[in-house]
Structure 1
Amino acid sequence: MEHVPSYYAATVNPHDAWPQLNDDIQCDVCIIGGGFTGLSSALFLTEAGYDVVVLEAAKIGFGASGRNGGQVVNSYSRDIDVIEKRYGKESAQLLGGMMFEGAAVIRDRIDRYAISCDYRHGAIFAALNRRQLAHLKQQHKRWQQYGNHQLELLDELGIRRKIASERYVGGLLDYSGGHLHPLNLALGEAEAIRRHGGRIYEESEVTAVRYGVPHLIRTLKGSVTAKYVIFAGNAYLAPHLEPRLARKSLPCGSQIIATEPLSADKALSLLPDNHCVEDCNYLLDYYRLTADRRLLYGGGVTYGARTPGDIDGLIRPKLLKTFPQLDGIKFDYAWSGNFLLTLSRMPQVGRLENGVFYMQGDSGHGVTWTHLAGKLVCEALKGEPKRFDAFARLPHAPFPGGRRLRIPLTALGAAWYALRDRLGV
């Protein structure tokens, strides 16, 4: 199964393929899923000396990791003020101390392994109304309290200097965030795993897992016997493989386009400092420039991981509302990808059996969170579970309505928040 025909697949770095598993093998740790969660875990573990096998049903980076907006955005899908209100000060302190770590892991990987993925620094949260700007001002204070001093508040004039759009009343610029080519990052990390002796198998869908001592993981043409198992499939993990993980999460789709290449003058006129942007709406828009000066623009959510028939019709009105000066622009690429949503919008982390771990439900903040997650599960396997358990203790309720009603009820709730965004309340 090849990558979807996205801008990323069309501009991927040359790389060697990985084989299919056609044998019965053994290892210390078997990781199910070859996206950022699995790759980050595998790289930390191979660096620590573990014998690691990664099983990917399609291609490395096939899912959200190779299709997302490429934005390196700090924190979680719920910020630290919500975490403190819901889970208490102790949880807020532990999670707050980690919320900028995923981006640091990414920068370290890029530098240490010389991964060519077009990394650029700077991420802007753009406020569409005064209520959102007030929230960003509070976020600025909270993030500084947790050690992020690479922040700049932008008033209306300041954000106009950063974004050639009249939509915004201000924003928050995080210089420790940024943007990159996510598929090339994934492939670079996979190559680093190979260099450390890790084994990666593509086109090796897991068909069954038998828990025991050790655990047995079966694929279509082979098997892996392992002391530890890590579920890292997120929205692309087959529900029947581990129903306990499917009950408290909901796959959702997001749509992205990439325009035709812009002239250097046009590109710099839109985003003079080449920062990436996301607005502060519940159903947010996000965009950035690519290395070859295309505008990559995404937004909207389809609940239940449906792929819309007309991505152009969904994204073009959003893009032109932000940049009316691009009227008539051609879209060279349009694609959809799935991410995994949780009811709390916080990641789900924990253990299913003795030696069986899972991390899922990034809820739209997967690029940074997944890189932190790999570090945390490595710590847990090494006997240092405190930070992993800070996430594992968070309660997670199932979506209301069961299997039949959870999608329409979730969409109804999202429509309510979207209405509030439009009204600015």
Structure 2
Amino acid sequence: MANTQYPESYYAASANAVPPRPVLQDDVETDVCVIGAGYTGLSSALFLLENGFRVTVLEAAKVGFGASGRNGGQIVNSYSRDIDVIERTVGPKQAQLLGEMAFEGGRIIRERVARYNIQCDLKDGGVFAALSAKQMGHLESQKRLWERFGHTQLELMDQRRIREVVGCDQYVGGMLDMSGGHIHPLNLALGEAAAVESLGGTIYEQSPAERIERGANPVVHTPQGKVRARFIIVAGNAYLGNLVPELAAKSMPCGTQVITTEPLGDELAKALLPQDYCVEDCNYLLDYYRLTADKRLIFGGGVVYGARDPANIEAIIRPKMLKAFPQLKDVKIDYAWTGNFLLTLSRLPQVGRLGDNIYYSQGCSGHGVTYTHLAGKVLAEALRGQAERFDAFADLPHYPFPGGQLLRTPFAALGAWYYGLRDKYGL
């Protein structure tokens, strides 16, 4: 049987030590079977366990193997499409409820870190950096929008002010969100998994879900065992495959690339990011970066539609890093990896129920660290019979990619090319 290990990333190399977890080799019964031990699955499991459910988690590889353990590690509020877009799509009533939830995920992360003493290098402060006057105008509008929904930890920064927090001369201004921040994402997932087990939950690794037998008491089959449950939560996102065909039809796995430098030392690290905030720019195809606890720079960006692994990740990302920080031209890159996220056509998450007892959340569209933690709470509420917040997400309209699975990749790539031109020429 395959034994899938973590990719050779900085996160895997610096992960906290954890005990080995078993492979499912028996037939077990539980209240809820969660498929996927990433943030969505772990958050769901924690909220359910805290409310008295028996929970079994199935993971095809290792805890945090997918996007949860490979992402840029940034705590960014709201959704990939902001609340104003949602409001135009579904109207003010539904948008109000979704807007009230838009800043909850970051609070859940901090609460989990504090309650379960998770060692994941949590730092406060995230910067949105504007490359043009148009982008700065968007940030001004975004600040007003977020403040309308009660989010007030925001500061607009002019060119002088942003240079105090980012040692880069290409930005005309930005916005600082002190409820944003950054974490070691794999260590957050590992800490949440330990919390699940501390509450009596069971996590099986190297135990991929191969088939779901639907019915009044659904059964999830793995290569060597099966789980019979009252409810199933499908939380595989970009790594779900075709386990649930109706979910695969309306989403597309995409790859993003990340590099990590050698340790920079205190002086150079402080020159780049004096307050140790994380940064993302305001381009459609955005770049993002931050410092690690041992003073490396993590820099990510780029999208590969269809989730192919590029032959040379450093060749794609290093020029982006040097454009922001030319002083790093002689710095060695110690790690380079790719990871997949799940894109939807609307760029809004897909939440719903199949039949009476199979629940799912997927399609964070590159905005998943905070949303997945909220999703776990919303799914747990629905299983407890409190479905108002679940329904607010479930009622969002979603559409298949034009041309189906055959043409979705070139269609999305064409759209990215168009927006890349807009970014390049400031349109």
TM-score by length of 1: 0.99
Deviations along 1:136-160, one digit per CA (max 9) or x if unpaired, are 0011111111111111100111111
Deviations along 1:118-150, one digit per CA (max 9) or x if unpaired, are 000000011110111000001111111111111
Of the three residues 227, 236, 253, the one matched with 1:233 is 236
- Determine whether 1:205 maps to 2:208: yes
Distance apart, 1:182 and its partner CA: 0.6
Distance apart, 1:168 and its partner CA: 0.6
RMSD: 0.6
Between the aligned partners of 2:21 and 2:50, the Cα distance in structure 1 is 20
Secondary structure of residue in 1 paired with 2:127? strand
| 1:312 aligned partner | 314
Secondary structure of residue in 2 paired with 1:74? coil
Of the three residues 76, 86, 90, the one matched with 1:73 is 76
Of the three residues 50, 70, 85, the one matched with 2:53 is 50
Structure 2, unaligned runs of 5 or more: none
| 2:169 aligned partner | 166
Between the aligned partners of 2:221 and 2:247, the Cα distance in structure 1 is 19
Between the aligned partners of 2:210 and 2:311, the Cα distance in structure 1 is 30
Q: Which amino acid in structure 2 is aligned with residue 347 of structure 1?
A: P
- Determine whether 1:24 maps to 2:27: yes
Distance apart, 1:354 and its partner CA: 0.9
| 1:341 aligned partner | 343
| 1:92 aligned partner | 95
Secondary structure of residue in 1 paired with 2:221? strand
Q: Which amino acid in structure 2 is aligned with residue 118 of structure 1?
A: D
Secondary structure of residue in 1 paired with 2:319? helix
Q: Which amino acid in structure 1 is aligned with residue 115 of structure 2?
A: R
Deviations along 1:221-263, one digit per CA (max 9) or x if unpaired, are 0000001001000000021x11000000000000000000001
| 2:109 aligned partner | 106
Q: Which amino acid in structure 1 is aligned with residue 296 of structure 2?
A: R
Moved over 4 A (4+): none
Q: How does 1:141-290 map to 2 (within 5 A)?
A: 141-239=144-242, 241-290=243-292
| 1:37 aligned partner | 40
| 1:385 aligned partner | 387
Between the aligned partners of 2:203 and 2:185, the Cα distance in structure 1 is 18
Between the aligned partners of 1:401 and 1:297, the Cα distance in structure 2 is 34
Give the total of aligned pairs: 424
Q: Which amino acid in structure 1 is aligned with residue 15 of structure 2?
A: V
- Determine whether 1:295 maps to 2:300: no
Between the aligned partners of 1:7 and 1:193, the Cα distance in structure 2 is 25
Between the aligned partners of 1:226 and 1:2, the Cα distance in structure 2 is 28
| 2:411 aligned partner | 409
Percent identity of paired positions between Structure 1 and Structure 2: 60
Q: Which amino acid in structure 2 is aligned with residue 243 of structure 1?
A: P
Distance apart, 1:213 and its partner CA: 1.5
Distance apart, 1:353 and its partner CA: 1.4
Deviations along 1:299-326, one digit per CA (max 9) or x if unpaired, are 0000000110010110011001101111
Q: Which amino acid in structure 2 is aligned with residue 222 of structure 1?
A: G
Of the three residues 120, 123, 131, the one matched with 2:123 is 120
Secondary structure of residue in 2 paired with 1:109? helix
| 1:369 aligned partner | 371
Distance apart, 1:50 and its partner CA: 0.2
Q: Which amino acid in structure 2 is aligned with residue 3 of structure 1?
A: Y
Deviations along 1:400-424, one digit per CA (max 9) or x if unpaired, are 1222211011100111011011111
Secondary structure of residue in 1 paired with 2:210? strand
Q: Which amino acid in structure 2 is aligned with residue 268 of structure 1?
A: K
Between the aligned partners of 1:403 and 1:88, the Cα distance in structure 2 is 30
Between the aligned partners of 2:200 and 2:180, the Cα distance in structure 1 is 31
Secondary structure of residue in 1 paired with 2:101? coil
| 1:354 aligned partner | 356
TM-score by length of 2: 0.99
Between the aligned partners of 2:123 and 2:173, the Cα distance in structure 1 is 22
Deviations along 1:24-67, one digit per CA (max 9) or x if unpaired, are 00000000011000000000001111000000000000000000
Q: Which amino acid in structure 1 is aligned with residue 313 of structure 2?
A: I
Secondary structure of residue in 2 paired with 1:225? strand
Between the aligned partners of 1:91 and 1:162, the Cα distance in structure 2 is 37
Distance apart, 1:90 and its partner CA: 1.2
Between the aligned partners of 1:169 and 1:297, the Cα distance in structure 2 is 20
Distance apart, 1:87 and its partner CA: 1.6
Between the aligned partners of 1:45 and 1:352, the Cα distance in structure 2 is 19
Q: Which amino acid in structure 1 is aligned with residue 99 of structure 2?
A: G
Between the aligned partners of 2:110 and 2:150, the Cα distance in structure 1 is 17
